[in-house]
């Protein structure tokens, strides 16, 4: 059963080789890798072309201009051929049994979507903490985004024209998770930490002010109410701080 692995690329030349290696080293071998180059220019093209030579399963899509991670992933989804889609960012890593374990559990229990625990590492691969979660539906997901993008595997037929990533600078993945959850889907949780999320200083995920703005826009899209959207943004921020506290406890 083919799995399409989708990777948006933007200024991650320091890490992309390790990311691709962690995918190519998977014990589950039936996959394609679709890298979307969101950094137009000769330098990024040279880096990704050299990666493509390593394995015939690697495909490159090049954007004419920078469009962001969410819209880049949407382009890859449209051309993907797998029954399942797995996402990984271009500075994250997978454990070698990630795909095999996840797809086996999804087939066994008939899951449409799954996500896993994941380790948090720094720029030098030092483990900082472990991030844990649970089964998530719309009711609990709207309060806190406890899903690591690089841990998610999903059946492709769930992703439709109106259920895709948003064009937000951040929270583009949270938007999609809420869309799916609101449609009645559960994100089933696998307790094993099968991925590594890299916490870097220049990561978009570290832009606190931008995250607050995008959180408000996201909640207003779903709630259509300024007060509720503002309230949910505050709750999301508080839950984020609580998760950081738990990270220290688990490390």
pLDDT digits (tens, 9 = 90+) for 201-231: 765 455 678 888 999 999 999 988 999 999 9
Q: How far apart are the first and last CA of the chain?
A: 36
Task: Break the chain into its structural domains and give their ranges.
Answer: 3-250
Model pTM score: 0.93
d(CA 100, CA 112): 16
Second-level CATH architecture of 3-250: Alpha-Beta Complex (3.90)
d(CA 176, CA 179): 5
pLDDT digits (tens, 9 = 90+) for 50-90: 999 989 999 999 999 999 999 999 999 999 999 999 999 99
Amino acid 139: pLDDT? 95
Alpha carbon 14 to chain centroid, angstroms? 19
Token readout for 19 is 């990311």
DSSP alpha helix (H) spans, 32-135: 42-52, 69-79, 98-109
């Amino acid at each position: 059963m083919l799995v399409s692995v989708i990777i948006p690329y933007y200024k991650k030349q320091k890490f992309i080789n390790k990311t691709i290696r962690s995918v190519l080293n998977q014990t589950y071998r039936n996959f394609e890798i679709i890298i979307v180059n969101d950094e137009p220019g000769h330098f990024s093209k040279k880096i990704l072309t050299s990666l493509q030579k390593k394995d015939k399963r690697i495909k490159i899509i090049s954007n004419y201009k920078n469009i962001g991670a969410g819209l880049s992933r949407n382009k890859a989804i449209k051309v993907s051929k797998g029954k399942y889609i797995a996402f990984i960012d271009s500075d994250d890593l997978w454990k070698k049994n990630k795909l095999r374990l996840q797809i086996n559990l999804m087939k066994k229990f008939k899951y449409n979507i799954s996500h896993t625990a994941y380790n948090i590492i720094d720029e030098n691969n030092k483990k900082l903490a472990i991030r844990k979660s649970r089964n998530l539906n719309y009711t609990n997901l709207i309060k806190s985004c406890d899903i690591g993008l690089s841990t998610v595997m999903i059946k492709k037929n769930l992703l439709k024209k109106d259920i895709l990533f948003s064009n937000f600078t951040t929270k583009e993945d949270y938007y999609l998770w809420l869309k799916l959850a609101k449609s009645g889907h559960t994100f089933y949780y696998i307790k094993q930490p099968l991925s590594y999320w890299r916490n870097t200083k220049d990561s978009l995920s570290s832009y606190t002010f931008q995250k607050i703005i995008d959180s408000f826009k996201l909640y207003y899209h779903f709630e259509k109410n300024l007060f509720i959207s503002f309230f949910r943004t505050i709750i999301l921020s508080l839950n984020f701080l609580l998760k950081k506290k738990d990270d220290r406890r688990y490390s």
